[in-house]
Amino acid sequence: MNADTQLAVPKGPFKAADAGESAGHPHGVRATARIRATYNGRVTTLPQMHSDGPFHLRRMRTGGRGATVGIIGAMSAPLGGDRLALDITAEDRAELEVTTAAATLALRGPTTAPATYDVRLTAGEGASLRWLPRPLISAAGSNLHQTCTVDLAATARLLLREEQLLGRADEKSGHLVSRIRVHRAGRPLLDQHTAYGDPEPGWDGPALLDGHRAVGQLLLVEPEMDAEHDPVLLRNGTHDGCAVLAPLAGGPALLATAVAPTSSALRELLDEALAHALGA
């Protein structure tokens, strides 16, 4: 199963965090969905799958010892004022992949307060965790603060991909603040902070995006990987965007950062960066 698996949208109603909350609630929706994967000696099981608010969780059919969970959006979110979180844990030796059914669309809400979307990823010893959501779209007028916090054991493996599209077709970008923080074996591995859209100064200038509207990161942490890689620059000087793949100082990890004119071009760049990282 891969990140492009198509998921069916549930026909039943979603259950909000509080009974009185809805997509148009003036104070926003508060919701936290949780996934916990364990290894029973033969396969990965899912003793906890807690759907909440806009997050409907569904286990996908897979072969082998791993488990795959699809997240289906059950309502429009995040809107201004929403407080959304995903808490995903792969315990020792578990193999877990989590993806989303469709792009996440950040929209202007009934309040001017920013929405928050926090993803917390934890992987134990010998575990494998793959976080492969579809793109986040920052629509005009939206205001979103997104964080991804990762805690890895020393022997854990991670593949993390994040893609952001700054505005829909012929539309200005919303305000998007994003941060990725990764700790491995209790020590910092990565702390990356980005901000796009007004009122951020120079966010779309030649020193940053140079007119591109799709940005993304791909992080590969592999304990057995040879991290003595030289940085690789992909497609420099073309109109299809470019990416740089570089090792991180804190461990056997490679980070690709890419910009592109479209979401599809961005995905191609990140796939190319992953192929380089895996030695293909």
Q: What is the pLDDT along the chain (280 residues), one digit of tens a residue?
A: 343 433 433 333 333 333 333 334 556 899 999 999 999 999 999 999 999 999 999 999 887 899 999 999 867 789 989 999 999 999 999 999 999 999 999 999 888 889 999 999 999 999 999 999 999 999 999 999 999 999 999 999 999 999 999 999 889 999 999 999 999 999 999 999 999 998 888 788 776 787 899 999 999 999 988 767 788 999 876 678 999 999 998 779 999 999 999 999 999 999 999 999 988 5
The predicted model scores a pTM of: 0.87
Q: Is residue 17 part of a domain?
A: no
pLDDT tens-digit readout, 193-228: 999 998 888 788 776 787 899 999 999 999 988 767
Q: Is residue 252 part of a domain?
A: yes
Q: What Cα–Cα distance (Å) separates residue 279 from each residue in 129, 159, 229, 262, 276?
A: 20, 15, 10, 26, 5
Q: Is residue 95 part of a domain?
A: yes
Give, in degrees to the nearest 5, the angle at Cα 277 between 157 and 60. Answer: 50
Q: Is residue 41 part of a domain?
A: yes
pLDDT of residue 192: 95
Using CA atoms, how far apart are residues 129 and 127, in angstroms rounded to an integer?
Answer: 7
Domain range enclosing 68: 30-277
Q: Is residue 102 part of a domain?
A: yes
Q: What is the 3-state secondary structure (H, E, C) of the chain?
A: CCCCCCCCCCCCCCCCCCCCCCCCCCCCCEEEEEEEEEECCCCEEEEEEECECCEEEEEECCCCCCEEEEEEECCCCCECCCEEEEEEEECCCCEEEEEECCCEEEECCCCCCCEEEEEEEEECCCCEEEEECCCEEECCCCEEEEEEEEEECCCCEEEEEEEEEECCCCCCCCEEEEEEEEEECCEEEEEEEEEECCCCCCCCCCCCCCCCCEEEEEEEECCCCCCCCCCEEECCCCCCCEEEEEECCCCCEEEEEEEECCHHHHHHHHHHHHHHHCCC
Domain count, the chain: 1
Q: Is residue 156 part of a domain?
A: yes
pLDDT of residue 237: 62
